[in-house]
Amino acid sequence: MPLQVRDYSWQQTKTAVFISVPLRGVCIREADVFCTENYLKVNFAPFLFEVFLYAPIDDENSKAKIGNDTIVFTLHKKEAVMWETLSVSGVDKEMMQKIREKSVLQAQEKAKEAIEAKAATRREDQKYALNVMMKIEEEERKKIECMKENERIKATKELEAWKTCQRKAEEQKRIQRKEKLHQQERPIEEEKKKLKHKSLTGNSTSRNIATKGRNSENIFSEKLKEDSIPAPRSVGSIKINFTPRAFPTALRESQVAEEEEWLHKQAEARRAMNTDIPELRDLKEEEKNPEWLKDKGNKLFATENYLAAINAYNLAIRLNNKIPLLYLNRAACHLKLKNLHKAIEDSSKALELLTPPVADNASARMKAHVRRGTAFCQLELYIEGLQDYEAALKIDPSNQVVQNDAEKIRNIIQGTELKS
């Protein structure tokens, strides 16, 4: 049998309704969301959430954001009026069944209309594709004609090139005729060649002498290289020191859990006596008070010296880590320095220490939620940020600044949501 979800929260404006439904482990694939004008249902086994809405909504423009164990609905009203309640009151089982059946019929009619619209769109797409194919075939025909024309132009160019080659061949024949006329001058050229041969033989003897000199130089340079080779290095050794264990006991014989517990107790004892905090050795007695350090950090924060304020809060936390305001004030410093993850950690630690929730710590709890929500929003985790702002509004519903910020976050979420 499904479990009815009843711990949801909702808010409204004149034009929209915002519903936040916590569902552990919810994801887009497994969640079944069904929404019509007067009916909203979420089926995520074993959870079931359904609402018979007070007035009709615009289900086509309404949206849902699924993630981080929560579904956030943004429902747009058809009429800009404020609702008295989220669901219709005084509805019996018969009326609920009729509303469910009517909603299913409306959804089926819309699905049928959507199918018909898709079919009409498909037909239009087919016509468009046919026209495109005809245009492509026409372009291919024009390309073939253009290729034929290019081949004709190429053939004419080749014919012209052949004609130029023929002209060059005729010119070559004329040159050969001229060379035959100069055959009578060959004996003179032969005598010139003989003279050149004599000069070349003289040059060869000089080249042999030069090569001998180079060989002697190479032998001398090789001897110099052998003399310049360094002697082999002497043999040495390297000594390696390893960090010793905290306990001399061998690992196979030691009891690691007991050793770690003993070390932890020793560290806590030293911390209690302030012996392991070197920063406290040179301080006065009043400067070792966590409350005095908290006030000092507050003054440094007021002068915008955020790093010095963090150092003061760090030292105070080391003296006493059970004061929630130290973590809350340090979260404010981290927000100013854009250390967003550290701001989230400090705000969460402050909320852990601010228990039980009573009227005396309401202001501090609201600040912790606002600062953590601000850090989440700056990390673009808007759903988590909205949850913290809603928690702050539960503590102080009349805070107008927090209300305005929560409204801005909802507007951001609407721009990035999935349609329901």
- DSSP annotation string for 17-38: EEEEEE-TT--TTT-EEEE-SS
End-to-end Cα separation, the chain, in angstroms:
25
pLDDT of residue 3: 77
pLDDT tens-digit series, residues 371-395:
999 999 999 999 999 999 999 999 9
For residue 320, how many other CB atoms are within 10 A of its CB? 13
Provide the CATH topology of domain 3-91: Immunoglobulin-like (2.60.40)
CATH code of the region 322-419:
1.25.40.10
Q: Where on the phi/psi map is residue 139: left (φ > 0), alpha (ψ -120 to 50), or beta?
A: alpha
The stretches in the chain having pLDDT less than 50 are: 206, 209-210, 212, 275-276, 417-420
Please give the structure tokens belonging to residue 109.
């009619």
Predicted TM-score (pTM) of this structure: 0.38
Q: What is the DSSP letter of 87?
A: B
Contact 60, 413 (CB under 8 A): no
Residues spanned by CATH 1.25.40.10 within the chain?
322-419
- Number of helices (H) and strands (E) in the chain: give both, helices first: 10, 9
Q: Where on the phi/psi map is residue 328: left (φ > 0), alpha (ψ -120 to 50), or beta?
A: alpha
Residues spanned by CATH 2.60.40.790 within the chain?
3-91
Q: How far is CA 392 from the centre of its chain?
A: 29
Tokens 């404006």 found at: 13
Helix axes 306-319, 290-302, angle to 10 degrees: 170
pLDDT of residue 304: 92
Which among 346, 416, 358, 355 has a CA at the least distance from the CA of 386?
Answer: 416
pLDDT of residue 420: 31
pLDDT of residue 245: 58
Pairing of strands 3-4, 47-52: parallel
Residues 6 or more apart whose CB falls under 8 angstroms from that of 361 comprise: 324, 354
Please give the structure tokens belonging to residue 418.
């999935």
pLDDT of residue 1: 65
Contact 316, 294 (CB under 8 A): yes
For residue 39, how many other CB atoms are within 10 A of its CB? 22
- Positive or negative, the CA dihedral 83, 85, 90, 96 is positive
Contact 68, 384 (CB under 8 A): yes
The count of C-alpha atoms lying within 13 angstroms of the C-alpha of 240, restricted to the half-sphere facing its C-beta, is: 1
pLDDT of residue 272: 59
